[in-house]
Amino acid sequence: MNVSVDLLNKYNVQVPRYTSYPTVPVWKENISVTQWKETFSKQFSIVNAETGISLYLHLPFCEKLCTYCGCNKKITTNHDVEEEYMQAILKEWKQYTALMNKKPVIAELHLGGGTPTFFSPENLQKLLQSIFDEAIIPEHHEFSFEGHPNNTSKDHLQTLYNIGFRRVSYGVQDNDPKVQFIINRIQPFENLVNAVNIAREIGYSSVNFDLIYGLPLQTLEGMQKTIEQCITLRPDRIAFYSYAHVPWTSRGQRLFDEKDLPTPDLKMKLYCLGKDLLMQCGYHDIGMDHFALPADDLYLAWKDGTLHRNFMGYTTQNTGMLLGLGVSSISDLGNAFAQNHKTIHDYYQCIENNELPVIKGYFLNEEDVTFRKYILRVSCQGNTRFAEKDLPLLEQFAFPELEALQADGLLNYSAEKMEVTPLGRHFIRNICKSFDLHLLRNIQPSDKNLFSRAI
Ligand SMILES: C[S@@+](CC[C@H](N)C(=O)[O-])C[C@H]1O[C@@H](n2cnc3c(N)ncnc32)[C@H](O)[C@@H]1O
Ligand code: SF4
C-alpha cells in the first residue's frame, strides 16, 4: 500500500511507543519504595494465584557497541563482570521473594539485554537455577531469550533448552555489508544460518528475528535482499522495528552522520517493501511492527483477540504482573510501574545497601487503568469499544483527535467503537496518542526530544 508523502510528513512527529501507559516521562522520580513494596505484595498475592507472574532479567553486557543501539547496555570484553552481576540479581530476587506470600509461579521468563549470550552457559544455568529454587515452574510456561547470532553457541542453546527455553530471538537488523559496517555490527549471514539450524536441531519451537528499517545507508535493494535471505530460514516471527533515533540518550548514534539516515519517505518505502515481501511469503501482520507465520501462537492470539503487549513486546501471556530484575529493568504490577537505576554503579550500590533499586515509577489511578486498556486494545487489536461511563472524557480529549485521524482515512469511529483502517495500521502510535490523556492535557512546545519519531 502506498502512503502519501504528505501524510508521512504530517504524522512523522515524536510519539511514544506506548509500551506503557502512562508513558515513562510522566513517571515520578524517587517514588516511595514502601508504597512500591506494599503494592507489590498485594498484587502478587492476587496475580500469582490466578495466572502466575512474568519475569524479565536484564543482562546488560555486550562485547562491542552497535552504534544504532537504543538499549541499556555496558560494553566490555571482561567476562569477570558476570559473577558480580549474577550475585546482584540474586540479591534483588531475594528482596522480592521476601515480599511474597507464596512461592512464585513463573509462567513467563525473558532474558533481554544487552546480550544475554555474553554470559557463559554455565553462569546462565547457575543464575536461573538459583532463581528457580525459590519458584514453581508450571507445566505450561514460556521462556525466551535474545541471542546474538555472532556469539550464541550450541552450548548456550542446549543449556537453556534443558531448563525450559523454547523460544529464541536473534538480532539480525540488516544483512547488507555496507549497513553492517556503518552500524559497527559485522555479522556474516552464515552465522545466522548456523545459529538457526542449531536451535531447530535442538528442538526450539520458535525462532524469531529482529530486523530494523531506517538504519543508515539502507536501500530498497539491500532491504529486499535482507528479507529474501531471512525468509529462506523461515523464522516463526519477525519483529520489523522502526529505527528509533534518540541521539540525546543513545550517544553511539552520534557516531554516524545523520545525512546517511533514510529520509522519512524512503523509511516508509523500506517498511512497505519489507511488509509486502513478508506478507507474500505467508507472514501475517500483527500489531505494531510484528509479523508471524499462521501457525505461530502470536498470530493465533491476535486472531482470537487475546494478544497482549508489555515491556518485553507482544506476548500471548497476560499474567497481570511483570517483574523486572537487573539494571534499568522495568516492572509492571498492573496498577503501578517502576524502573530500576539505569547505571550499573547505582544499581550495585542499592543492592549492597539491601535496598530495592527502584528509582522512578508511577501508581495508576482509575482513569489511567481505563485509558491504558484503550491504548492496549488499539496496539494489540486495532479496534476498541467505548464504555458509556468514559464518554465525557473521550468526547473532551479523544474524539477531537480521532476526528482528525478519521478525516485522513486512518480509522473509523462512533460513540460506541473505533476501528483502525489498513492505512491507519502504519500510524498506530499516532492513534494510541488519542487516548493519552496525560499528553493531551499537557502538550507543551518545550517537550522536545522525549520520544523517537513515529516513522
Ligand atoms: C537487546 S537487543 C538484541 C539482543 C542482542 N544484543 C543483539 O543485538 O542481537 C534487542 C533488539 O532491539 C532492537 N533495537 C536496538 N536499538 C534499536 C533502535 N535504536 N531502534 C529500533 N530497534 C532497536 C534491535 O532489533 C535488537 O535486536
Ligand atoms: S544491539 Fe545488541 S549487541 Fe549491539 S549494542 Fe545493542 S544490545 Fe549490544
The grid coordinates listed for 79 are 567476562
Mean pLDDT of the chain: 93
Mean pLDDT, rounded, for 306-316: 85
* Contact (Cβ atoms closer than 8 angstroms) between residue 415 and residue 391: yes
User: What is the greatest pairwise CA distance in the chain?
Assistant: 59
Q: Predicted confidence band at 446 (pLDDT cuts at 50, 70, 90)? A: very low
Which residue reads 499516532 in cell numbers?
430
Residue 454 has pLDDT above 90, yes or no: no
Mutate to test the pocket of ligand 2, among 61, 76, 148, 172 (most ligand atoms within 8 A of CB): 148
d(CA 65, ligand 2 centre) in Å: 6
The grid coordinates listed for 64 are 562491542
Q: Whose CA is nearest to atom 6 of ligand 2?
A: 69
Among the bound ligands, name the one nearest to the CA of residue 250: 1
What lines the ligand 2 site, CB under 6 Å? 62, 65-66, 69, 71, 73, 113-115, 148, 171
Q: What is residue 199's predicted lDDT score, i.e. its pLDDT?
A: 98
| Residue 4, number of CB atoms within 10 A of its CB | 12
Nearest to 111 by CA among 85, 150, 77, 84: 85
Mean pLDDT, rounded, for 262-291: 90
Residue 166 has pLDDT above 60, yes or no: yes
Q: What percent of the chain has pLDDT over 70?
A: 97
Q: How far apart are CA 43 and CA 100, in angstroms?
A: 10
Mutate to test the pocket of ligand 2, among 59, 62, 63, 255 (most ligand atoms within 8 A of CB): 62
d(CA 70, ligand 2 centre) in Å: 8
* Contact (Cβ atoms closer than 8 angstroms) between residue 145 and residue 169: yes
Mean pLDDT, rounded, for 358-374: 95
Cis bond before residue 357 (omega within 30° of 0): no
Q: What is residue 7's predicted lDDT score, i.e. its pLDDT?
A: 83
- Whether 146 is in the pocket of ligand 1, judged by its Cβ within 6 Å, is yes
Q: What is the dihedral of CA 215, 220, 223, 225, to 10 degrees?
A: -150
Q: What is residue 8's predicted lDDT score, i.e. its pLDDT?
A: 78
Nearest-atom index, ligand 2, CA of 146: 2
